[in-house]
């Protein structure tokens, strides 16, 4: 009898091990999809100076181009997220990749402002499709480890976004605008990553469409609608505060170092890389820590915990500025995965909507903040930008108003509580 029991237990462990391995394979595929998408998006923004010189555009025209891109890349994400929740399909990632590929080809061979507008609109729409859909699939592939899954997914995007400008500097800057079209090859290759994803999605969609699977509505938390919507509003405030401050660093940090400390451009890029690398590490850590200790506390510490360093950074010397920026990147970047998963758990039947809404707000607030802060830097100076933005992490105090959400032990593995 004990021998049979041990055999059954060993068999169960082997099945769980295989399932976990399959789940990680799907998560890494989705992370790679995110990586390639954000790589291509960042190539576009990094190519604006080349486009401006080639087509002799004004800064106002570049601003309008960026606005059209930001609108298409952010505003449509919640709309697509709602649609994907209601009508799941294996085609959406393909459509997103094809939209991005078409936009890159048009952008490379654009000869007028209208062609540029169409190109960035296609590229933005591609991102609006890929982000909510890939994030939604990440949630379903997590096997209950939602924080870890979102961290893996976010790191892919962070890595892609950081190497995109390097590729643009190596390919587009020396050879010209037409070489933007070369990156359409990457969008085409991204289509082939979807082989394992399509098989896994088809199985999941068939399972969801079975009558037995539709009967129970499951929730990870039990809160009134009023409390859920209040919590979502707080999370949106936290996303806003995080991405406004992140925009000040990602867009103007090198200019700040050059102007205040007189460092070379090459050296300022090294400091920027240190900040971005710390952000990638923080992104990877935030989700799993949230799984273990609770997402509310990760959110609170990640945003409000950044405030001492952000408030000190405008007044310290170069060495300490680097240290402060690394600590800020490490702490602040751990927030997004925890915020997104917390929101998805509040509305588990609307994962696509939540993913689109939060990604859209992140992109939109960062884009608007970059424009406003750029104007502020022109009129008041770059140091003033950091003195003002230093107070943004103090908004993290609203995280204390979030409800404490704890799962019953019996449902800890799946994270589901039958209604």
Which residues share a beta bridge with 219? Answer: 417
Say what angle helices 113-140 and 194-209 make with each other, to 10 degrees: 60
Structure tokens at 182: 């070369």
334 found inside a domain: yes
- Do residue 314 and residue 391 come from a single domain? yes
DSSP 404: P
Q: What are phi and psi of 222, to 5 degrees?
A: -120, 105
Strands 218-219 and 417-418: antiparallel
CA dihedral angle for residue 15, residue 18, residue 21, residue 22, rounded to 10 degrees? -100
pLDDT at 411 over 70: no
Listed range (126-135, 300-309, 357-366, 386-395) with the worst mean pLDDT: 357-366
- Do residue 230 and residue 192 come from a single domain? no
- Do residue 129 and residue 252 come from a single domain? no
pLDDT at 12 over 50: no
- pLDDT value of residue 17: 45
- pLDDT value of residue 405: 65
Contact, 306 vs 331, CB < 8 A? yes
pLDDT at 338 over 90: no
- Do residue 166 and residue 301 come from a single domain? no
pLDDT at 255 over 70: yes
Confidence bin at 315 (pLDDT 50/70/90): very high
Listed range (122-126, 182-186, 344-348) with the worst mean pLDDT: 344-348
The label of the residue with tokens 């609109």 reads 121
- In the chain, % of residues over pLDDT 70: 84
147 found inside a domain: yes
Domain boundary among 153, 172, 206: 206
- Do residue 104 and residue 236 come from a single domain? no
Q: Please indicate whether residue 14 or residue 311 has the higher confidence score (pLDDT).
A: 311
Q: Secondary structure of the chain: what % helix, strand, coil (to 5)?
A: 85, 0, 15
DSSP 393: G
Listed range (115-124, 251-260, 386-395) with the worst mean pLDDT: 251-260
Q: Please indicate whether residue 136 or residue 368 has the higher confidence score (pLDDT).
A: 136
Confidence bin at 349 (pLDDT 50/70/90): confident
Beta-carbon-side half-sphere exposure of residue 209 (alpha carbons within 13 Å): 10
247 found inside a domain: yes
- In the chain, % of residues over pLDDT 90: 23
Q: How far apart are CA 220 and CA 105, in angstroms?
A: 44
Number of domains in the chain: 2
Listed range (39-48, 259-268, 406-415) with the worst mean pLDDT: 406-415
154 found inside a domain: yes
- Do residue 46 and residue 181 come from a single domain? yes
In 3D, which of 4, 187, 9 has the Cα closest to residue 96? 187
Confidence bin at 98 (pLDDT 50/70/90): very high
Contact, 355 vs 79, CB < 8 A? no
- The mean per-residue pLDDT over the stretch 38-43 comes to 86
Q: Is the entire prediction scored with pTM above 0.85?
A: no
pLDDT at 305 over 70: yes
Domain boundary among 175, 206, 237: 206
Q: Please indicate whether residue 45 or residue 390 has the higher confidence score (pLDDT).
A: 390
**Chain mean pLDDT for the chain:** 80
- Do residue 62 and residue 200 come from a single domain? yes
Beta-carbon-side half-sphere exposure of residue 212 (alpha carbons within 13 Å): 1
13 found inside a domain: no
Q: How far apart are CA 210 and CA 189, in angstroms?
A: 34
Q: Please indicate whether residue 411 or residue 175 has the higher confidence score (pLDDT).
A: 175
287 found inside a domain: yes
Q: How far apart are CA 328 and CA 326, in angstroms?
A: 5
Which residues fall within 8 angstroms of residue 159, CB to CB, at 6 or more apart?
A: 35, 280
Q: How far apart are CA 18 and CA 23, in angstroms?
A: 9
- Do residue 124 and residue 245 come from a single domain? no
Structure tokens at 159: 């890595």
pLDDT at 198 over 80: no
415 found inside a domain: no
Confidence bin at 72 (pLDDT 50/70/90): confident
- Do residue 117 and residue 152 come from a single domain? yes
pLDDT tens per residue, range 146-169 = 788 888 888 888 788 778 777 887
19 found inside a domain: no
Structure tokens at 165: 């400008």
- Do residue 250 and residue 157 come from a single domain? no
The CA R_g of the chain, rounded to the nearest whole Å, is 22
Q: Please indicate whether residue 416 or residue 315 has the higher confidence score (pLDDT).
A: 315
- pLDDT value of residue 3: 53
- Do residue 396 and residue 308 come from a single domain? yes
- pLDDT value of residue 132: 87
Domain boundary among 206, 238, 262: 206
Range of the structural domain that residue 97 is part of: 30-206
- The mean per-residue pLDDT over the stretch 69-92 comes to 85
CATH number of residue 287's parent domain: 1.20.1250.20
- Do residue 84 and residue 145 come from a single domain? yes
pLDDT at 352 over 70: yes
The label of the residue with tokens 């401050």 reads 245
Which CA distances in Å does 66 have to 16, 121, 124, 375?
47, 10, 10, 15
């Amino acid at each position: 009898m004990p021998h049979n029991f041990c055999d059954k237990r060993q068999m169960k462990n082997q099945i769980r091990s295989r399932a976990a391995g399959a789940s990680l394979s799907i998560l890494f595929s989705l992370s790679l999809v995110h990586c390639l998408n954000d790589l291509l998006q960042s190539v576009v923004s990094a190519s604006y100076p080349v486009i401006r010189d080639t087509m002799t555009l004004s800064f106002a025209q570049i601003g309008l181009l960026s606005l059209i891109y930001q609108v298409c890349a952010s505003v449509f994400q919640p709309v697509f997220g709602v649609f994907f929740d209601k009508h799941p399909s294996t085609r959406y990632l393909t459509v997103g990749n094809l939209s991005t590929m078409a936009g890159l080809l048009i952008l490379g061979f654009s000869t007028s402002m209208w062609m540029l507008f169409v190109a960035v609109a296609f590229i933005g729409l591609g991102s609006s499709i890929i982000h909510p859909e890939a994030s939604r699939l990440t949630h379903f592939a997590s096997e209950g480890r939602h924080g870890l899954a979102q961290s893996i997914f976010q790191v892919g995007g962070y890595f892609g976004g950081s190497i995109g400008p390097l590729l643009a500097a190596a390919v587009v800057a020396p050879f010209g605008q037409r070489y933007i079209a070369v990156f359409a090859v990457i969008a085409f290759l991204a289509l082939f990553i979807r082989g394992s994803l399509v098989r896994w999605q088809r199985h999941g969609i068939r399972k969801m469409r079975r009558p037995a699977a539709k009967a129970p509505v499951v929730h990870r938390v039990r809160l009134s609608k009023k409390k859920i919507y209040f919590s979502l509003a707080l999370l949106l405030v936290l996303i806003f505060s995080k991405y406004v401050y992140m925009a000040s660093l990602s867009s103007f940090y090198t200019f700040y170092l050059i102007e205040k400390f007189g460092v070379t451009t090459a050296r300022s890029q090294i400091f920027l890389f240190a900040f971005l690398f710390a952000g990638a590490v923080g992104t990877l850590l935030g989700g799993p820590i949230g799984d273990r200790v609770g997402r509310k506390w990760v959110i609170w510490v990640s945003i409000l915990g950044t405030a001492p360093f952000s408030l000190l950074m405008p007044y310290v010397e170069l060495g300490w500025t680097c240290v402060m920026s690394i600590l800020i990147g490490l702490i602040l970047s751990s927030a997004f995965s925890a915020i997104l998963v917390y929101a998805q758990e509040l509305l588990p039947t609307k994962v696509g909507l939540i993913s689109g809404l939060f990604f859209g707000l992140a992109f939109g607030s960062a884009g608007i903040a970059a424009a406003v802060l750029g104007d502020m830097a022109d009129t008041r100076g770059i140091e003033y930008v950091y003195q003002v933005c230093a107070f943004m992490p103090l908004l993290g105090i609203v995280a204390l108003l979030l409800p404490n959400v704890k799962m019953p032990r019996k449902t800890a593995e799946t994270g589901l509580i039958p209604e």
